[in-house]
Structure 1
Amino acid sequence: MKRFVTAILLSGYALMASSLDYVEVHGVKVPVIYEEDKRLPIVSMQLVFTGSGSVDEGQKGGLARLSAKMLNEGSKSRGSVGFADALDARAIQLSATAGNETFVIELGSLKEEFDTGLALLQEQLKEPNFTAKTLTKTKTMALSDIARKEADFDTVASNELKAVLFEGTPMATPNIGTVESINQIKLKDIQSFVASHLVISNALVVIGGDISKDQAFQKAKQLLSDLSVGKKANDRYFEPRKTPKESILKRPATEQAYLYFGSPFAMREGDSEYYKARVAMFILGSSGFGSRMMEEIRVKRGLAYSAYSRLSVAKTNTYFSGYLQTKLQSQTEAKKTVIEVIDTFVRDGVTQNELDQARKFLLGSEPLRVETLSQRLGRTFSEYYSGKPLGSSVQELEMIRNLKLDDLNDFIKRHGEIRNLSYAIVTK
């Protein structure tokens, strides 16, 4: 069996050591990311199903998230309350969540209770509490969440920006769904989504803690054996809008304007120049105080309490985005300033001092990103999921350490597409 080991060496000592191996179940090789950590008598496991999030729910927005909520209602034999009581009695944590790209079931407990937790998870998967009563309950909660978020104008503007950037794709619908889409979901839709996505062909296991490797692999195989092989989900990618578009939502209750902006960025997950993007975006708007956005919009002009921008690079999409809140009367000036800041950034690049400060922070804060078991396992998962070699995070740090100003500014100039800004604005 081929074995890969990731080790991060910072300041002369190892901070990370997670391995990636495979376990064969019903003829399918399933990746297992593992790390032993005996400092606390706990074990945690994540059962990850790739290609099984909201981007693969078709026209039924909120289906993946609602399916996770339904799975959290326990098993048919115990019911929601009985199942929760069984978990609480042993201090076992068990929950399912659905994101854009993945569906994740997480199990955590004391070492001595892990077998009990595993048995309860197997029970939940074999006989999920998928009933009409449970569906009504979870749909009511989902509709309540949607109604509550309608009063959160940051969320409204953020969702509208994605609707603008990814118009006509599953990315345009928030993973929580809409009132219309939630009302249309039937029990058979939940059952079909779970049956077709929670399968061995989509599975990946992340496990660590006070458990030996042999035990971890045996537990993983035991859990996976109960699943059907199924069909591996297709890789999907959604291009953001290239031509700018603006959407203005009027909300009489708001006392300020919420400006959310976004644009395409010509990069795919696993790109060899991602480290340059990481430094560039840190300087432009991801570093809080000291970033270009914050300096120009808040410090110099006093247009907003905070201003932020970031780059999202995922398997299914890549885009640049940012936001700020400002006074209603300053909305036009704030929008103009964002355009100016980005235009100057692309045209003139960054200074040596900005590069030095960004490098100092990114390298100096790295130990904080791998100090816990979950962080280290998550780092290894991210490397594997993005198609990078394990240990690439270490190499990326070295490339940041050796990054030259001219190379960074050349990279920034080649990405003038971030000027093609689309807007979602909530105002009065």
Structure 2
Amino acid sequence: MNRWRSTGALLFITAVVSLTTPVQAADITPIKFTTPNGMTVLVLEQHFLPIVEIHALVKAGSAYDPPDKAGVANLVASLLDEGTTSRSAKQLAEQIDFVGGSLEAKAGEDFTTASARILKKDVDLGFTLLADVLMHPAFSKHEFERVRSQIQGEIASDSDDPGHVAMKAFNQLVFHNHPYRWPAQGTEETVGKITLADVQSFYAKEYLPNQVILTIVGDLSVEQATALVQTHFGSWKKGTPQNRTTKKPAVVDKKSVQLIEKDLTQSTIVLGHGGISRNNPDYYAITVMNHILGAGGFSSRLMDSIRDKQGLAYGIMSHYDARMQPGSFWVNLQTRTEATNQAITGVLTEIKGIRDSPVSDQELSEAKSFLVGSFPLRLDSTAKLAQVLAQVEYYGLGFEYFSQYPKWIERVTKDDVQRVARQYLDPQHYALVVVGNVAKAKVRQ
């Protein structure tokens, strides 16, 4: 289930890739074409190491789970490598292990990914196995029952983690009538309702070649990649994509508080509200603003105020989860129970502060330097490149993204930061979840 399979040779080659071959963002210009059955294919030749990454993005994630059966997309993805009509799970594992490759599948909120990483000499096997799990999953009753039970066990163990509990409750408040309110893996209750027929139906409706973005990165020519795609995916029958009727998440228009009792010495706090979609034109200004506020580690305002000056938390971060539809913004931390109200007040003070006054020249400069400087690290392996390429295509960002990202970040001004802080941060209307000793915390509501 969502296994990572690999042996030493490929791991070693992968580990040295960034040491021997620095990726230049401006050099990332993939060849794009559409197959007769509607599959979008992106090929990026990189011949410095004999590795090929084959990465399939299927435009179906947990946001498209049937009502009251959250977790179907995740269960489908988890079963892909648990046996096909011609190979058992053991045979799949042995064949990919024998050549030192890897095979992986994972469902997220907006999409599912399945990928194979392989040495160039074994590339035909990589295509064979990836195509087999995508096109011919067996969905045997035995594996379905076993994997579903395993997922339920993982969900149950998560209920002991106050961070998981807090985020689950936070998403319920922020996305209360939207599929994003559920964890991608579902809940014990919803997963228990899922039948094998649900899994088979979801797969049949959603796993279509014209719903797939296939990215191929590595030591392979465009001609070789094209031939392999045709050989292994050419027989996949095109279908009619489902009508998407999901509405955008409703805006949080009031302060909502949920207190969850757990006998702990610390309070786990999550505070935030709705966020933005990935293709929002303000994404880059928000990225800079959020880095200054709380995503920038020890240089962020939240860390400086809540951790260093007030000593209320070991760590604190703010996040923007940008998805196909507007995601969420949140701040999370843990603090001693008696300091719960002080920490919440401190977070709201910093949110108000970045809205009310321009950031300093130094803050702006340091944030932009970090974001521009760290960008190549997101592209320093074939696996990362294939993932990012697929998402750039999925979100419609355009391939100029790779050369323009640094310029878009550099273009952000202090006025931009304050404008987006005022527009996208709301210290009056937010969801607040506190997990801990409720009686001692005495959270003001």
Q: Flag whether TM exceeds 0.5 (same fold).
A: yes
5+ unaligned residues in a row in structure 1: which ranges? 1-10
| 1:133 to partner: Cα distance | 0.8
Does structure 2 conserve the Cα–Cα contact (< 8 Å) formed by 1:264 and 1:418? no
Check 1:210–1:349 CA distance in 2 against 1; reply closer, same or farther (3 A cut): same
Query: Is 1:39 the counterpart of 2:51 in the alignment?
Result: no
Q: Which amino acid aligns with 1:411?
A: V
Query: Is the partner of 1:420 in helix, strand or coil?
Result: coil
5+ unaligned residues in a row in structure 2: which ranges? 1-21, 438-445
| 1:194 to partner: Cα distance | 0.9
Task: State the partner residue of 2:271.
Answer: 261
Provide the aligned length of Structure 1 versus Structure 2.
413
Query: Is 1:381 the counterpart of 2:410 in the alignment?
Result: no
Q: Deviations over 1:271-294 (max 9, x none)?
A: 322211111010000001020111
| 1:270 to partner: Cα distance | 2.0
Correspondence 1:144-293 to 2 at 5 A: 144-235=153-244, 236=246, 237-252=248-263, 254-265=264-275, 267-293=276-302
Distance (Å, rounded) in 1 between the aligned partners of 2:180 and 2:352: 27
Query: Is the partner of 1:295 in helix, strand or coil?
Result: helix
| 1:108 to partner: Cα distance | 1.4
Superposition CA RMSD, Å = 2.2
Check 1:216–1:415 CA distance in 2 against 1; reply closer, same or farther (3 A cut): same
| 1:20 to partner: Cα distance | 4.1
Query: Is 1:348 the counterpart of 2:357 in the alignment?
Result: yes
Q: Deviations over 1:223-271 (max 9, x none)?
A: 332323122244543345332211111112x221100111134x43323
Q: Which amino acid aligns with 1:369?
A: R
Does structure 2 conserve the Cα–Cα contact (< 8 Å) formed by 1:242 and 1:263? no
Distance (Å, rounded) in 1 between the aligned partners of 2:186 and 2:159: 12
Distance (Å, rounded) in 2 between the aligned partners of 1:83 and 1:384: 29
Correspondence 1:363-374 to 2 at 5 A: 363-374=372-383
Check 1:193–1:238 CA distance in 2 against 1; reply closer, same or farther (3 A cut): same
Query: Is 1:54 the counterpart of 2:50 in the alignment?
Result: no
Check 1:186–1:327 CA distance in 2 against 1; reply closer, same or farther (3 A cut): same
Task: State the partner residue of 1:4.
Answer: none
Give the strand-richer structure, 1 or 2.
1
Q: Which amino acid aligns with 1:320?
A: F
Query: Is the partner of 1:190 in helix, strand or coil?
Result: helix
Check 1:142–1:407 CA distance in 2 against 1; reply closer, same or farther (3 A cut): closer
Bigger Cα displacement from structure 2, 240-249 vs 92-101: 240-249
Distance (Å, rounded) in 1 between the aligned partners of 2:25 and 2:346: 45
Query: Is the partner of 1:414 in helix, strand or coil?
Result: helix
2:97 to 88, 91, 105: 88
Query: Is the partner of 1:311 in helix, strand or coil?
Result: strand
Query: Is 1:318 the counterpart of 2:327 in the alignment?
Result: yes
Does structure 1 conserve the Cα–Cα contact (< 8 Å) formed by 2:285 and 2:417? yes
Correspondence 1:387-426 to 2 at 5 A: 387-417=396-426, 419-426=428-435
Task: State the partner residue of 2:130.
Answer: 121
Does structure 1 conserve the Cα–Cα contact (< 8 Å) formed by 2:288 and 2:364? yes
Query: Is the partner of 1:32 in helix, strand or coil?
Result: strand
Task: State the partner residue of 2:308.
Answer: 299
2:32 to 9, 17, 21: 21
Task: State the partner residue of 2:443.
Answer: none
Query: Is the partner of 2:397 in helix, strand or coil?
Result: coil
Check 1:79–1:422 CA distance in 2 against 1; reply closer, same or farther (3 A cut): same
Check 1:414–1:95 CA distance in 2 against 1; reply closer, same or farther (3 A cut): closer
Task: State the partner residue of 2:369.
Answer: 360
Does structure 1 conserve the Cα–Cα contact (< 8 Å) formed by 2:31 and 2:44? no
Bigger Cα displacement from structure 2, 30-39 vs 409-418: 409-418
Q: Which amino acid aligns with 2:319?
A: R
Check 1:422–1:225 CA distance in 2 against 1; reply closer, same or farther (3 A cut): same
Distance (Å, rounded) in 1 between the aligned partners of 2:25 and 2:268: 44
Distance (Å, rounded) in 2 between the aligned partners of 1:12 and 1:258: 39
Query: Is the partner of 1:38 in helix, strand or coil?
Result: coil
Query: Is the partner of 1:219 in helix, strand or coil?
Result: helix
| 1:208 to partner: Cα distance | 1.2
Bigger Cα displacement from structure 2, 70-79 vs 100-109: 70-79
| 1:102 to partner: Cα distance | 0.8
Check 1:364–1:78 CA distance in 2 against 1; reply closer, same or farther (3 A cut): closer
Does structure 2 conserve the Cα–Cα contact (< 8 Å) formed by 1:205 and 1:220? no
Q: Which amino acid aligns with 2:299?
A: G
Distance (Å, rounded) in 1 between the aligned partners of 2:315 and 2:194: 39
Check 1:418–1:233 CA distance in 2 against 1; reply closer, same or farther (3 A cut): farther
Distance (Å, rounded) in 2 between the aligned partners of 1:87 and 1:371: 24
Check 1:166–1:66 CA distance in 2 against 1; reply closer, same or farther (3 A cut): same
Distance (Å, rounded) in 2 between the aligned partners of 1:416 and 1:114: 48
Distance (Å, rounded) in 2 between the aligned partners of 1:372 and 1:87: 20
Does structure 1 conserve the Cα–Cα contact (< 8 Å) formed by 2:53 and 2:386? no
Distance (Å, rounded) in 2 between the aligned partners of 1:256 and 1:274: 34
Distance (Å, rounded) in 1 between the aligned partners of 2:375 and 2:389: 14
Distance (Å, rounded) in 1 between the aligned partners of 2:31 and 2:258: 45
TM-score by length of 2: 0.87
| 1:306 to partner: Cα distance | 0.6
Query: Is the partner of 1:309 in helix, strand or coil?
Result: strand
Q: Deviations over 1:315-349 (max 9, x none)?
A: 12232111000001111111111111111221123
Distance (Å, rounded) in 2 between the aligned partners of 1:392 and 1:208: 17
Distance (Å, rounded) in 2 between the aligned partners of 1:137 and 1:151: 22
Does structure 2 conserve the Cα–Cα contact (< 8 Å) formed by 1:251 and 1:427? yes
Does structure 2 conserve the Cα–Cα contact (< 8 Å) formed by 1:304 and 1:324? yes
Query: Is the partner of 2:297 in helix, strand or coil?
Result: coil
Does structure 2 conserve the Cα–Cα contact (< 8 Å) formed by 1:280 and 1:412? yes
Distance (Å, rounded) in 2 between the aligned partners of 1:45 and 1:167: 37
